[in-house]
């Protein structure tokens, strides 16, 4: 048997996320059984949005992030890179990258998104409203970062299009002001 000191950081992250996802799945299943998919989708999104402030503030504290908000794409990129390590472990089969300035790209391995597989097993994939990308959008909303998600997500993309990938374009007012000032220095 391992001691706590012998468990690697990666193993601990995987364990915590696996336990959390099992709880999440069982919560979803029990709500679905009692209330149906429409109410369960609404409750799921409400729970995600409600947990966001706690999740963000606890993460900021754990990693020593002292800023109240993210002022630039570089701030967002640094914060999100740490957060995705903690909350989007390899078993989720997701790739998150920054292909260009102000863009977060996501992609799930074809037919291997954990939510897609779970909702398909439950027989509600055709009515499931994706909570995975919604969670990231809630993080952005909490930080007050304007964003546009393409394609827009309501139903499961893996189910409706055969793949789940897209971009979240973010904008930071201070960066826009700085760019404008650089382009129009005499104004």
CA 164/CA 175 separation, integer angstroms: 30
Q: What pTM does this model have?
A: 0.85
pLDDT at residue 49 in the model: 97
pLDDT at residue 4 in the model: 86
Say if residues 131 and 113 touch (Cβ distance below 8 Å): no
Count helices and strands in the chain by DSSP H and E runs = 7, 4
Check which CATH number belongs to the domain holding 100 and give it. Answer: 3.30.1380
Into how many domains does the chain fold? Answer: 1
pLDDT at residue 33 in the model: 96
Which H/E stretch holds residue 112?
none
pLDDT at residue 156 in the model: 93
pLDDT at residue 116 in the model: 93
Is pLDDT above 50 for 180? no
Composition of the chain by helix, strand, coil, percent to 5: 60, 15, 25
3-state secondary structure (DSSP) of residue 87: helix
Instruction: Tell me which residue range forms the domain holding 134.
Output: 4-183
CA 158/CA 139 separation, integer angstroms: 22
Is pLDDT above 50 for 58? yes
Q: Residue 169 phi/psi, 5° resolution?
A: -90, 130
pLDDT in tens, 75-126: 999 999 988 888 888 888 899 999 999 999 999 998 888 899 999 999 999 9
Say if residues 72 and 175 touch (Cβ distance below 8 Å): yes
Q: Is the dihedral of CA 30, 36, 38, 39 positive or negative?
A: negative
* Across 77-86, 122-131, 138-147, least confident range: 77-86
CA 163/CA 102 separation, integer angstroms: 23
């Amino acid at each position: 048997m391992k001691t706590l000191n012998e468990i690697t950081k990666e193993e601990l992250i995987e364990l915590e996320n696996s336990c959390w996802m099992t709880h999440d799945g069982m919560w979803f299943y029990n709500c679905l059984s009692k209330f149906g998919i429409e109410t369960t989708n609404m409750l799921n999104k409400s729970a995600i949005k409600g947990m966001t402030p706690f999740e963000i503030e606890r993460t900021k504290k754990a990693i020593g992030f002292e800023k109240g908000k993210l002022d630039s794409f570089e701030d967002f990129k640094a914060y999100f890179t740490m957060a995705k390590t903690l909350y989007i472990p390899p078993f989720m089969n997701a790739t998150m990258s920054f292909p260009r300035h102000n863009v977060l790209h996501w992609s799930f391995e074809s037919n291997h998104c954990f939510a897609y597989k779970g909702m398909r097993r439950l027989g509600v994939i055709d009515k499931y409203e994706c909570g995975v990308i919604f969670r990231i959008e809630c993080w952005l909303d909490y930080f007050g970062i304007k964003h546009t998600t393409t394609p827009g997500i309501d139903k499961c993309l893996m189910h409706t299009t055969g793949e789940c990938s897209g971009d979240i374009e973010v904008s930071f007012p201070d960066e826009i002001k700085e760019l404008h000032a650089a382009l129009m220095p005499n104004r």
